[in-house]
């Protein structure tokens, strides 16, 4: 089976972990955590990094850091992972959806302004599958309306928007370091910010809101969302190779583009002139005339030894939210189409052109039938 992704662990990661184990600092304190936070924040052009246990936790802490009134609205794309909307709901806020662009699959920033009300307090752009969101219109809206930007950069490590690193433009940005991400710690995540108050709040919330003077006195409730020193040791080694890893990802994406460009029945990903697409995952949209959906295509690819994934299901279609009537009557046709017809293929850092050729031949085989 050719897998969608396999993490690459090299000797530097192993050496760092052994150093960590030898010191005995294996839990949520130790030098690797602070160094990892500083290195990743510096790479993205932000002042403060707060390492946490996963990207979902990073999003929830980010939303809590804003200290918004219950019922406040946060605008985000319907086409995203459920972690984004879950963070909003868990903080007793109201998610407000917009559709996505048909070619970049990122949020349609042209729909955001019409969704702004007196209750809107934040916008959550989600950089999708390695391609950045068009950030300047959102940053302008945020300035005009006094809104926060929570930047979800989980899928775009090393990506750039007009020369600026993704994850370096929001009031708070969030990353995941899951095993399939460009930088991985197995599980893990991080918040970045230039705001010292937000950084302080985030560190408190991730650590059960222990009081600095008297540890077991609590004035508010937090979470045990800490990253371990072992995880940070792995991440620090990977940050040292981030540019190399990004070059490899772009190489994989570029090769797929060259080999699939002439294949009928699929819409390939694009790269805007202002974007650096890092091809975290290489996806495409099946055309209706193929008679396939993402799910049927994935099943047929698996039968011939290639693992794939259908695209995210839109948030307005999620059964848990449909049952609650959360987005009754709302329509997001682009999200509906790409959720049904989108697929991404193996895009791991371990791929050779020979393996990619096997994937391409599998795609052609399924489409030819």
Q: Which domains does the chain have, with CATH numbers?
A: 11-239 (3.40.640.10), 242-368 (3.90.1150.10)
The pTM assigned to this predicted structure is 0.96
Confidence (pLDDT) at 41: 98
pLDDT digits (tens, 9 = 90+) for 287-329: 999 999 999 999 999 999 999 999 999 999 999 999 999 999 9
pLDDT tens per residue across span 224-235: 999 999 999 999
Cα(57)–Cα(39) distance, integer angstroms: 20
pLDDT tens, residue by residue, 13-45: 999 999 999 999 999 989 999 999 999 999 999
Work out the average pLDDT over 343-367: 97
Q: What is the pLDDT of residue 211?
A: 85
Q: State yes or no: pLDDT of 174 exceeds 90.
A: yes
Average pLDDT score, the chain: 97
Q: What's residue 369's pLDDT?
A: 83
Q: For 269, phi and psi rounded to 5 degrees? A: -70, 160
Instruction: Look at residue 197 in the predicted model and tell me its pLDDT.
Output: 97
Q: Tell me the two tokens of residue 357.
A: 């050729």
Checking phi first, is residue 208 left (phi over 0); if not, alpha (psi -120 to 50) or beta? left
């Amino acid at each position: 089976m050719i897998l969608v992704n396999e993490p690459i662990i090299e000797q530097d990661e192993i050496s760092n972990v052994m150093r960590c184990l030898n010191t005995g600092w294996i839990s949520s304190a130790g030098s690797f955590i602070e160094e990892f936070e500083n290195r990743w924040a510096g790479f993205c052009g932000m002042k403060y990094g707060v390492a946490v246990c996963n990207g979902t936790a990073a999003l929830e802490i980010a939303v809590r850091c804003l200290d918004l009134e219950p019922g406040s609205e946060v605008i985000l794309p319907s086409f995203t992972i459920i972690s984004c909307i879950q963070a909003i709901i868990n903080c007793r806020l109201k998610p407000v959806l917009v559709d996505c662009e048909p070619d970049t699959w990122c949020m349609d920033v042209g729909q955001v302004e019409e969704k702004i009300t007196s209750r809107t307090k934040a916008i959550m752009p989600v950089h999708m599958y390695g391609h950045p969101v068009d950030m300047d219109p959102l940053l302008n809206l945020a300035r005009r309306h006094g809104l926060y930007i929570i930047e979800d950069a989980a899928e775009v490590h090393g990506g750039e928007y007009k020369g600026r690193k993704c994850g370096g433009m929001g009031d708070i940005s969030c990353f995941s370091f899951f095993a399939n991400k460009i930088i991985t710690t197995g599980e893990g995540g991080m918040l970045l910010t230039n705001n010292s108050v937000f950084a302080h709040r985030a560190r408190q919330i991730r650590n059960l809101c222990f009081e600095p003077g008297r540890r077991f006195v609590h004035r508010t409730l937090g979470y045990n969302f800490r990253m371990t020193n072992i995880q940070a040791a792995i991440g620090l080694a990977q940050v040292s190779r981030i540019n190399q890893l990004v070059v490899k990802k772009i190489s994989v994406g570029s090769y797929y583009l060259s080999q699939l460009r002439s294949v009928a029945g699929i819409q390939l990903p694009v790269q805007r002139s202002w974007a650096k697409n890092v091809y975290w995952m290489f996806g495409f949209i099946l055309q209706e005339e193929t008679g396939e959906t993402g799910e049927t295509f994935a099943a047929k690819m698996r039968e011939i030894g290639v693992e794939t994934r259908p695209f995210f299901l839109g948030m307005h279609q999620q059964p848990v939210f449909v049952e609650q009537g959360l987005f009754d009557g709302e329509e997001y046709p682009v999200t509906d189409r790409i959720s049904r017809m989108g697929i991404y293929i193996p895009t791991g850092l371990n791929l050779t052109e020979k393996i990619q050729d096997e994937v391409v031949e599998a795609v052609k085989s399924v489409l030819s039938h």
